[in-house]
Structure 1
Amino acid sequence: MFHPTQSALFLDRDGVINRRIVGDYVKKIDEFVLLPDVAEVLARLRPLFARIIVVTNQQGIGKGLMTEADLAAIHALMLQQLPMIDRVYHCPALAADNHPDRKPAIGMALRAARDFPEISLADSLMIGDTEGDIRFGKNAGMRTLLFGNEKLPTDLRPDFFAADWQQVAALFANALKK
């Protein structure tokens, strides 16, 4: 399905890796809670991808609700719990700023492609739980997987769907047997 020397698995953070706080932001490490099965499934998927990369909008910084240091502490905890992740990219800009790194713009994907020239965005997969995540993946030329139960506009069709990490593992079951 994906070429293990060229493809990257791109992941959104909130709502995909960790529990999303509805109407708020994960602002400190004690608010960061991994979703069930994420560590186990990512460890199993690791051999299928050259890189695993997190791309996350973090406008809580732009709103002054947290600092870059707060985010660095959260990401340090996440990387301790999920050591198979190669890199984390974030964009602290507000949605209204139209920053080129803020999803659905593809700045973070382009940075990853520069930092890891072995990966091909066209051979990569974006897993996200929102319209912006899926548009980001499509805009970057990746295949996309909608995680969870978000309703998307009818013009936006992800390539795959999974309600949870066990369903993600099931999608890759044949590749994992090899």
Structure 2
Amino acid sequence: MGSSTSGRIRAVLFDRDGTLVVDVPYNGDPDLVRPMPGAKAVLDSLRDRGIATGVVSNQSGIARGLISEADVSAVNARVEELLGPFDVWEICPHSDQDNCECRKPAPGMVHSACRRLGIDESSTALIGDIGADVRAAAAAGATGVLVPTPVTRAEEVRAAPLVARDLAHAVALLGES
């Protein structure tokens, strides 16, 4: 793929935890939000070029009773304060057992974000740190880019069509840098 996608990407969606911000499992505390290195510069660069940005995030802690929707909203507000503005937010509050259409790797959040942005999935990319992110992108007809972290499984890296060393490299792979 690489540079063949150049010029067609109109929106970049990001996973939240482990991609835009340091992953704190089931974080309900805005004070614990720490941006990933380079995240703000990458986002600002996309915005400067008129590319829409959004967040698509599984938040199963809500379904599990570990955090509330208000907790997630407070954390998201802090992410927005540090890294925003984002054009769209999509949150899945369900657990694996709910079999919903929104929880990644299902494509529901990508479809919804694209619908809300008025942008076709084929002109959208999703950048994330686990295989579910890349599979959600593929299922929706978007371009997926994996930015591995220490929690990313080796088989997820092998299966991903595009793998980047960091967020800037992920955007470069899209032909947008």
Q: Give the alignment of 1:27-176 within 5 angstroms.
A: 27-48=28-49, 50-117=51-118, 119-149=119-149, 150=152, 151-153=154-156, 156-158=159-161, 160-168=162-170, 170-171=172-173, 175-176=176-177
| CA shift in 2, pair 1:124/1:74, >3 Å | same
Q: Which residue of 1 aligns with 2:23?
A: 20
Structure 1 distance, partners of 2:46, 2:157, is 30
| CA shift in 2, pair 1:115/1:169, >3 Å | closer
Q: CA deviation at 1:155?
A: 7.9
| CA shift in 2, pair 1:133/1:16, >3 Å | same
Cα deviation 1:47-99 (Å, max 9, x = unaligned): 44541110000001111111111111111111111224211110010111111
Cα deviation 1:14-73 (Å, max 9, x = unaligned): 01001113xx32221122111111001111122445411100000011111111111111
Structure 2 unaligned spans of 5+ = 1-5
TM-score (norm 1): 0.85
Amino acid at match of 2:127: I
Amino acid at match of 1:16: T
Normalized per residue, the structure richer in helix is: 2
Q: CA deviation at 1:141?
A: 0.7
| CA shift in 2, pair 1:161/1:154, >3 Å | closer
SS in 2 for 1:162: coil
CA RMSD of aligned residues (A): 2.1
Structure 1 distance, partners of 2:40, 2:105, is 26
Structure 2 distance, partners of 1:46, 1:125, is 14
Structure 2 distance, partners of 1:153, 1:54, is 21
Q: How many residues align?
A: 169
Structure 1 distance, partners of 2:51, 2:166, is 23
Structure 1 unaligned spans of 5+ = none
Structure 2 distance, partners of 1:154, 1:168, is 14
Cα deviation 1:128-160 (Å, max 9, x = unaligned): 1111111000001111111125223588332x2
Amino acid at match of 1:123: S
Structure 1 distance, partners of 2:176, 2:158, is 30
| CA shift in 2, pair 1:112/1:166, >3 Å | closer
Structure 2 distance, partners of 1:175, 1:107, is 25
Structure 1 distance, partners of 2:27, 2:61, is 8
